[in-house]
Every structure is written in structure tokens, then in C-alpha cells.
Amino acid sequence: MASSPATEEAFVRFTKVQKSYDGENLVVKDLNLDIAKGEFLTMLGPSGSGKTTCLMMLAGFEPATNGEIYLGDRSINHVPPHKRGIGMVFQNYALFPHMTVAENLAFPLQVRNVGKAETETKVQRALEMVELGEFGSRRPAQLSGGQQQRVAVARALVFEPDLVLMDEPLGALDKQLREQMQYEIKHIHENLGVTVVYVTHDQTEALTMSDRVAVFNDGVIQQLSSPESLYEDPQNSFVAQFIGENNKLNGEVTKITKDTCVVKTNDGTVLKADKVNVDAVGDRTTISLRPERVELDPPKKMDNMLNGKIEELIYLGDHIRVRMTVAGNSEFIAKVRNRGEKRDLVEGETAKIGWSTSDCKALDLAS
Amino acid sequence: MAALPPYASPAQRTWHYTFRIICGLIFFFLIFPIMVIVPLSFNSLPFFTFTPEMLRLDPAGYSLINYKDFFTNPDWNNALRNSVTIAPVATLLATSIGTLAAIGLSQSHVPFRSAIMAILISPMIVPLIISAAGMYFFYSRIGLQGTYLGVVLAHAALGTPFVIITVTATLVGFDRSLTRAAASMGANPVTTFFKVQLPLIVPGVISGALFAFITSFDEVVVVLFLGSAGQKTLPWQMFTGLREQISPTILAVATLMVAISIALLTTLEFLRRRSERLRGLTPA
């Protein structure tokens, strides 16, 4: 994989892990994954892709059907959840409603027989870390959603585990609070150096917070790489479509050179693209192209130059979305940055567009 | 009942008041036979009817003679002692078994859940006389018939379904991720049960325990089959009192039992509300 930390010893390791709930269908198919100590790794994917199942297997709430999971250098397949020493933040926070915030935080310390004075110090320190120093005596029901979320994070960290799992922890918050919490969790991770495995279906969340992202679909990791290369160099059309906006142009490979290929689209347009996962001349392929990489009226000659009919203009403040018909695709989107200068874009007219070869990727045929 | 809205039609008005009258009649039908026992128990004469003195509210018509008999007569004393030694133990057994069964049966991986549930609930559905007859033959075989333990076990079996039902109902609202959270923090299953799960389902456990206690405390059929003279409980003594002696002491006993039931219900309802408040279900 593109940017896996090559030299570091894996802290968490999945080897050939499979999971089936009914004995017939595999929810997780042959998962191999190494997570380095101190890493923030996100499992990203649509619902039913197997990402939460992987997290539950790591936490110990679901047994793996096949394969081994290692934590440090020991296999934890036969270690019950309460002996794994893994902190966890749940989607619904799972705060104990009959205990105060401070009692919630003290719980993991009490079961470890930590002394009373030390417990109090640690609880207070954890509460201050999430800026809830004054809230120790409240009950969870008396807190807002964002505050409950912080308590859940503090509780998962208070006993100083080496590994913390987070299962869509921000799913129930509104957009603004979610963005704020993303930064807070990221900073806590940076300050404590704890290893975090984070599950989400929100790509923005994954891109914002992670060192590496594992994109799941259909029980298989489609791509495991840094947020940047996930967006810039998608390895297949699922990843290209799942992460960010994407224009699709279907066609057939007519010529292959070392790193590039020539593709003839269904309506006969000839395009040059980066060769990512096409093998031979004659292969069906989907070309993926980000809308912001399309130039309207390119000032100089570009690798791919063609005409498109402007179908619709949508004003979005910082940019203008231009929907066009390009190479037979009427859903082709180009983003034009709003620079303040007057543009002569008129719906129904034809405009010249262009993009460079390295911005469009020839991938497997999208379904 | 909400006040009548100003736009109510005459038919709606009529129904509004008819409904109140029907409700009142239902309450009267349910409560009057019990309430009438209370003044009767203070009758100074050994009758089951109101004497003219009582109706005139003449103090001479009232006395505590029935209560005195209850507290001094050795038959009643024995029965009282038996009842208060059998019911609490049966309640304890039924509550423990019922709570554990309800928790076990609430887990989706348990096979034959509905069948097991049906069997455990059956003492509540099968006619009591059939359960009693069955227990009689079974307990005679294994030497439990006519023993204190036998009566306790039988009453526990009768009380368990109530606990299972109330605890199961409480578990529906119980968030399973709480036990997972406790496990992720290092708590073993036993600690998790006592520190996290039990405090949260305790209202259901208390309600179930109350029902189990009342079941045992009021039970007469099974104890007639399974008990010997040594296990004569209050309801049994009342039954004999009615059939053989027609002793008005049972009026006093009935009044006391009603009072005990009301006191129990009130206390437990108070406890239940308190713990519900503590678990954060209702605002403080």
C-alpha cells in the first residue's frame, strides 16, 4: 500500500481475519491490517461494509470466525473484552446514567483498584482535558450532547489505555459541534500519543483526523493510505466515487504506454489518462476526474482539450458549479472558482474545457 | 380528565359526564367489597353484618375483640409466623431466579428463548389447582410434600413468572452498550452486573419482588396441597376459619392484610420512583 509505515513494528495486527454471522456470508473477507503505535487510523466505508464488525472484533465483543488479531505481540482471540485494556467510545456514548460524571470516569479506575486520592486526581485531570472541570457532580442526563461526548472520550482515556477505539462517536452531533469535536479529538490524540482506531462513514471526518484511512467496502479494504493519496490517487473506482466529488467517463483502452494510457470513450472522444488499474488494450475502464481540476477556457494547451455544452450553472458563493454534457455524459461537473471577474458562462452554449493527464485516472469499470 | 372544550356538542357533554359515572361505578365495584370489611372488623359482636349499634355509631357497638383474638389465639399466631417466614424466602428465591432468567433470556444468542420463556411463565397461566395437584404428586415422590422447603419452593415457582415479566419489560429499555462499555473499561461480568446492570433494572426487580411476595402471602390452593399442619399460613387459616368456625377474627386479619398490602405498594412505589430518578430517566 502507498504510504504504510514500513519500518515500524505493528501494534495492532489483523492477519487473515474473516467474520461471518450466519456461517454463510462473510461480512469481513480476509482482512490483513497493521496499525502502528501512536497512529490515528480510520476505518471508512458505507454501512454494511464490515468496518464496525472489525472494530467489535478488536474490542472483543464479536469473535473472529477465522484468522488472528494481535495486540502488541500477543494474540487476543481468546482474551475476553474486559482483559484487553482497550478504551472505547461508543456511538451513543454509553455513559452510566445512574452515576455522576465523576463516578463514570472513576469506574475504570475503581475496577483496577486504583487508590482513592489517585483516582480523584486522574478524574479531575481527564475532565479538565475535555474542558469539563466543573461538571464532575452532574449526571449525564443533565449534559448536552456535546458535553456527553466529551465525557465519553475522557472516560475512554482516563485509565491510560494504549489503544482507544471510537465507533462513529460524532454521529449524533450537529454539524458545527462535529467539526469542533473533530479538532479536539485530533489534538487529544496528538498530545497523548495514544493509538486510535476510528470508525466512521463520514469522509470529511476521516480526511480531517486520520494519519491513514482504510476504505472498506463489501468486507474488503479497498485502499489503505494517507488522506491525501486517497483523494489524489484512488486505486479503484469505488474509492474515487466514495471520497470527494468525481466525474465518471466510461470507455475502452486503446493504447497503453508506461504510466499512461489512451481511452476512447463511448461516444468516440479520445482521452489521455494515468494508468491505474487497467491491464490491457481493449479493457473497459472508467476515467475518474475531480471537478475542480477541469479548466474552463484553458489559457494554454492542455493534454485533454474538448468542448462541452453548458447545461446548468449553480452559484455557490465561493465557486460556481457548471453542469455540462461532455463526451456523452450529461452529469459532468466542473467547479469554477469565483474570482470576482466576470465570466461569460451562459447556459446552453458550448465552452472549451481541458485538464491534464495526471488529473484523470483510468480505473476499473464502475458498476 | 381534561375539561370540556367550549365547542363540545350536547352529545359530547352527555358522554363526558356518563364516562365519569361509569368510571366511578367501576371503582366502587372493585373497592367497596374490600372497604366494607374494615368497619366490620371492629364489630363487638361475633357477626358478619352491621349491628344496629354500629349503624348508630354507638361506641358500644365497636371493639377490638377480633384483633385481640388474632394476636392471642395460638392458631392465628402460628399462621402469622408461617406466613412471614415463607413469603420472604419464597420472594428472595423467585426474585433471584427470575432476574437471572430474564437477563439470560434477553440475550439474542440463547437458543429456544421463547420456549424456555413459555415454560417459566406457565405457572401463571396454568390453572392453579392443576399446578398444585402436579406439585403434590411430584413433591411427595421426592419427600418435599408437607415440608417448609416444599412450600417455599412451590411459592417461589409461582412468583418467578411475575419477576421474569417485570424484569424483561425493564430490560427492553436497557442499553446493551452499557455492559459493553463496562467491559471495555476492565470490569468483569460480575462487577458489571452489580455495578451497572442491576442498579438500572432495579425498578423492575422491585416490582417483580412485590408481586412475588403478594403471590406467596395470599396463596391458599398450593399450600393446602403441599403444606402439613406445620405450614398453615394466614390464608389457609382464614379459609379454615370461614369454613369450620365462621370466626369473625378473619375480618381483622383481612383488614390487616389489606393494610400491609397498601403499605408495601406505597413503599415500593416510592423506592421505584427514587431509583428511576437516580438512573436519570426522569428529571430530578
Q: Is B37 a domain residue? A: no
A21 in contact with B, Cβ within 8 Å: no
CA distance B108 to chain A (A): 13
Rounded-to-integer distance, Cα B155 and Cα B214, Å: 10
Q: What is the mean pLDDT of chain A?
A: 88
Ordered alpha helix ranges (H), chain A? 51-59, 101-110, 116-129, 145-157, 175-192, 203-209, 227-232, 237-242
Rounded-to-integer distance, Cα A87 and Cα A85, Å: 7
Please give the interface size between A and B, counted as residue pairs whose CB atoms are below 8 Å apart. Answer: 77
Rounded-to-integer distance, Cα A106 and Cα A158, Å: 8
> Which segment of A30-39, A151-160, A215-224, A301-310 scores lowest on mean pLDDT?
A301-310
Q: Give B 200-219 residues with CB within 8 A of chain A.
A: 200
Rounded-to-integer distance, Cα A270 and Cα A268, Å: 6
Neighbour count for residue B26 (Cβ, 10 Å): 10
Span B121-139, pLDDT tens digits: 988 889 999 999 999 999 9
- Is A141 close to B283, i.e. CB distance below 8 A? yes
- Residue A55 pLDDT: 92
Closest to A55 (Cα-Cα) out of A201, A258, A252, A260: A201
Q: Is B248 a domain residue? A: yes
Ordered alpha helix ranges (H), chain B? 10-35, 37-40, 52-55, 65-72, 74-105, 113-125, 128-141, 148-172, 176-184, 189-192, 198-218, 221-226, 234-240, 249-278
- Burial (Cβ within 10 Å: 0-12, 13-18, ≥19) of residue A5: middle
Which is it for strands A284-289 and A163-167: parallel, antiparallel or unpaired?
unpaired
CA distance B267 to chain A (A): 21
Q: Is B154 a domain residue? A: yes
Residues A209/A336, Cβ–Cβ less than 8 Å: no
- Is A61 close to B279, i.e. CB distance below 8 A? no
Strands of A40-44's sheet in order across:
A86-89, A163-167, A195-200, A40-44, A212-217, A220-225
Mean pLDDT calculated for residue range A132-145: 89
Domains of chain A by range and CATH? 10-237 (3.40.50.300), 245-363 (2.40.50.140)
- Is B184 close to A156, i.e. CB distance below 8 A? yes
Which tops the pLDDT comparison, B282 or A146? A146
Whether B281 has a pLDDT exceeding 60, the answer reads: no
Beta bridge partners of A319: A337
- Residue A4 pLDDT: 43
B79: CATH: 1.10.3720.10
B187 in contact with A, Cβ within 8 Å: yes
Which CA distances in Å does B282 have to A141, B141, B236, B276? 9, 51, 42, 7
- Residue A123 pLDDT: 93
- Residue A6 pLDDT: 42
Whether B282 has a pLDDT exceeding 60, the answer reads: no
Span B190-222, pLDDT tens digits: 999 999 999 888 888 988 998 899 888 888 888
Q: Is B258 a domain residue? A: yes
Q: Is B131 a domain residue? A: yes
- Is B181 close to A141, i.e. CB distance below 8 A? no
DSSP B73: -
Q: What is the mean pLDDT of chain B?
A: 87
- Name the domain count of chain B: 1
Closest to B213 (Cα-Cα) out of B131, B158, B132: B158
Neighbour count for residue B274 (Cβ, 10 Å): 11
- Residue A167 pLDDT: 92
Closest to B186 (Cα-Cα) out of A149, A126, A154, A156: A156
Residues A213/A230, Cβ–Cβ less than 8 Å: yes
Highest-scoring range by mean pLDDT, A2-16, A330-344, B198-212? B198-212
Closest to A257 (Cα-Cα) out of A362, A327, A113: A362
Q: Is B36 a domain residue? A: no
- Residue A257 pLDDT: 84
Mean pLDDT calculated for residue range A128-153: 89
Whether A197 has a pLDDT exceeding 90, the answer reads: yes
- Residue B254 pLDDT: 87
CA distance A95 to chain B (A): 7
Q: Is B255 a domain residue? A: yes
Q: Which of B176, B184, B201 to mutate to test the interface with A (most CBs of A within 10 A)?
A: B184
- Is B186 close to A83, i.e. CB distance below 8 A? yes
- Residue A308 pLDDT: 87
Mean pLDDT calculated for residue range A57-79: 90
Rounded-to-integer distance, Cα B113 and Cα A50, Å: 28
Set of chain A residues whose Cβ sits within 8 Å of the Cβ of B175: 92, 94
Centroid of chain to Cα A285 = 25
Q: Is A219 helix (H, G, I), strand (E, B) or coil?
A: coil
B178 in contact with A, Cβ within 8 Å: yes
Beta bridge partners of A333: A323
Whether A209 has a pLDDT exceeding 60, the answer reads: yes
- Residue A2 pLDDT: 39
Nearest CA in chain B to A97: B279
Which is it for strands A40-44 and A212-217: parallel, antiparallel or unpaired?
parallel
Q: Is B71 a domain residue? A: yes
Mean pLDDT calculated for residue range A167-188: 87
CA distance A274 to chain B (A): 46
DSSP A1: -
Span A73-98, pLDDT tens digits: 889 999 999 999 999 999 889 999 88
DSSP state string for A129-182? HTT-TT-TTS-GGGS-HHHHHHHHHHHHHTT--SEEEEESTTTTS-HHHHHHHH
**pTM score:** 0.78
- Which grid cell is A85? 485494556
Which tops the pLDDT comparison, A4 or A297? A297
Mean pLDDT calculated for residue range B29-35: 90
Mean pLDDT calculated for residue range B99-120: 89
Residues A68/A75, Cβ–Cβ less than 8 Å: yes
Span B52-84, pLDDT tens digits: 877 888 888 888 888 888 888 888 888 889 988
* CA angle in degrees (0–180, nearest 5) for A176-A178-A180: 75
Q: What is this model's ipTM?
A: 0.79
Q: Give A 291-310 residues with CB within 8 A of chain B.
A: none
Q: Is A260 helix (H, G, I), strand (E, B) or coil?
A: strand
- Burial (Cβ within 10 Å: 0-12, 13-18, ≥19) of residue B182: buried
Centroid of chain to Cα A106 = 32
B280 in contact with A, Cβ within 8 Å: yes
Domain that residue B261 falls in? 65-278
